[in-house]
């Protein structure tokens, strides 16, 4: 009788070991699948981040170009205004004259009078 019990116990232990081995193999496979999935997601995120940074860099460069162009346009406008309208600036001379430059020609005005209506 004890041989039969021993055989049943040995068979049970063997089946238990096989079930544990199968469970361990299943867990190892799931861990590998999860690791593979995580690596793939990290790669996708890194690619999107690189694309986003490249786009950001391109836009920043475009903004810099536009700012430089606007600055040049503003400077050109100021030059045109200076040439077309002339510039007036109060001089800190002893005589209190106002100096006006029109198209590169300088004029000095010592007295002012109110315009007649």
Output the pLDDT for position 39.
Answer: 97
* DSSP E strand boundaries for the chain: 87-90, 98-102, 105-109
Nearest CA to 31 among 43, 19, 42, 23? 23
First to last CA, the chain: 138
- Answer whether 62's CB lies under 8 Å from 76's CB: no
Q: Which two tokens stand for residue 72?
A: 């040049």
Going from N- to C-terminal start, the domains of the chain cover: 2-79, 86-117
Residue 103: per-residue pLDDT = 64
Please give the chain's pLDDT, 117 residues, in tens: 688 888 999 999 999 999 999 999 999 999 999 999 999 999 999 999 999 999 999 999 999 999 999 999 999 888 877 666 655 555 555 666 777 766 667 777 766 666 666
């Amino acid at each position: 009788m004890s041989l039969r019990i021993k055989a049943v116990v040995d068979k049970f232990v063997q089946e238990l070991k096989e079930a544990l081995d199968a469970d361990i193999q299943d867990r190892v496979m799931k861990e590998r699948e999860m690791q593979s999935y995580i690596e793939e997601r990290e790669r996708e995120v890194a690619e999107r981040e690189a694309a986003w940074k490249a786009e950001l860099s391109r836009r920043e460069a475009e903004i810099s170009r536009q700012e430089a162009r606007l600055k040049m346009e503003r400077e050109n406008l100021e030059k045109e205004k200076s040439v077309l309208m002339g510039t007036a600036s109060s001089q800190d001379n002893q005589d209190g004259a106002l100096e006006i430059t029109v198209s590169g020609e300088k004029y000095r005005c010592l007295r002012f009078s109110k315009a007649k209506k």
